[in-house]
Amino acid sequence: MSMITLEVSLLSGKTATVQAGLDETVETLTQRAQIALGVGKGRLLDSSGVVLDGCVETKSSRIQNGDSLTFHVTGVRMQSTAFAFAALLGDGSVVTWGDACCGGDSSAVQGQLKNVQQIQASECAFAAILGDGSVVTWGLAGWGGDSSAVQGQLKNVQQIQASVGAFAAIVGDGSVVTWGNAASGGDSSSVQALLQNVQQIQASASAFAAILGDGTVVTWGNAASGGDSSAVQRHLQHVQHIQASDGAFAATLGDGSVVTWGHPCRGGDSSAVQGPDEDWSMGPGSCEMPQLTDRPRWQHVRAYRLESATSAPPASRF
């Protein structure tokens, strides 16, 4: 077997010399580097800082004899649904546990969960972005665990956000792909033409807000949860950042002022703290909301699971 010799370094400066067979995979090389450096799981980066695909043979990875590589040790990153956890390990693999229906069982997609870059979670489903920009989902279909209807559009994905029951992904051309429960923002068809050059997305419990390249904002999903920003739309200019509560959004503008919208008792009404000439909120309103109950979020999920065998989530609470 033809062998090459490589120098592998940690960010701390520690180095080790590692040999690899040209017919061996990069994953095998990564494991040798891990042992030689005496560190936990991680990923190999080439001289340009690009993560090497562990499934590729060394001879196909453009690694040359004498090259210097970097071993990046990454700590475990966690996400959770209502009843399950997903841990993204340093080598890009994923381990899940907890309630099988809510994402604790990833066995159906485990073979695809390689070189994972990011995981997001709705209340009962997970979505993972892979190194090639594709997306893998699992969990309850009605909460976004089934992305088959839009899988062909999920290419070169840059970012994913999640509401209670839906996901929204920014793809490479700046457009947005959504899936999951329509009442939680899984259906963006009414604003799809506006979702161009999207820079950032935030999610409340049942709605999404996207900042476009020109600093304006597009919202969709449940109106009472911030999915309708028409009352403040004229003020949403030069938006720099958006934050969300369960039922409202707050946008920071270029001049440092803040615009809010959504349910008044979830932060959508900021009139009490706005200046006399800067009341840029949806204004005072009743805190009574018939759709809301006193049951905690997890009880809604449990009630659904006891009462129905389908994959459709309960009616939006916001």
What does pTM read for this prediction? 0.74
Report the relative pairing of strands 116-121 and 135-139 from DSSP bridges.
unpaired
Residue 72 pLDDT greater than 90, yes or no: no
Give the pLDDT of residue 197: 96
Q: 308 or 223: which carries more pLDDT confidence?
A: 223
Confidence of residue 55 (pLDDT cuts 50, 70, 90): confident
Is 109's pLDDT higher than 80? yes
Q: What's the CA gap between 231 and 192, in Å, rounded?
A: 20
CB 20 within 8 A of CB 29: yes
| Contact call for residues 70 and 9 (beta carbons, < 8 A) | yes
Query: What does pLDDT average to over the chain?
Result: 87
Please calculate the CA angle 170-175-177 and round it to the nearest 5 degrees: 60
Residues 6+ apart with CB under 8 A from 221: 163, 166, 183, 184, 185, 204, 206, 207, 208, 227
Residue 296 and residue 131: Cα distance in Å, rounded? 36
Q: Give the C-alpha separation, 222 to 262, whole Å.
A: 9
Query: Residue 251 has what pLDDT?
Result: 96
Q: What is the mean pLDDT of residues 206-230?
A: 97
Q: Residue 134 pLDDT > 60, yes or no?
A: yes
**Dist CA 52 CA 119 (whole Å):** 20
**pLDDT value at residue 274:** 85
Question: What does the block give as tokens for 300?
Answer: 């809604």
Strand 258-262 with 207-212, pairing: unpaired
In terms of Cβ atoms closer than 10 Å to its own Cβ (0-12, 13-18, 19+), residue 310 is exposed
Give me the domains of the chain, ranges plus CATH numbers. 3-73 (3.10.20.90), 127-302 (2.130.10.30)
Residue 304: pLDDT over 50:
no
Structure confidence at residue 74 as a pLDDT band (50, 70, 90): confident
pLDDT at 61: 86
pLDDT at res. 278: 55
Q: Which residue has the higher pLDDT, 286 or 143?
A: 143
Average pLDDT, integer, range 138-161: 96
User: 3 forms bridges with which residues in the sheet?
Assistant: 21
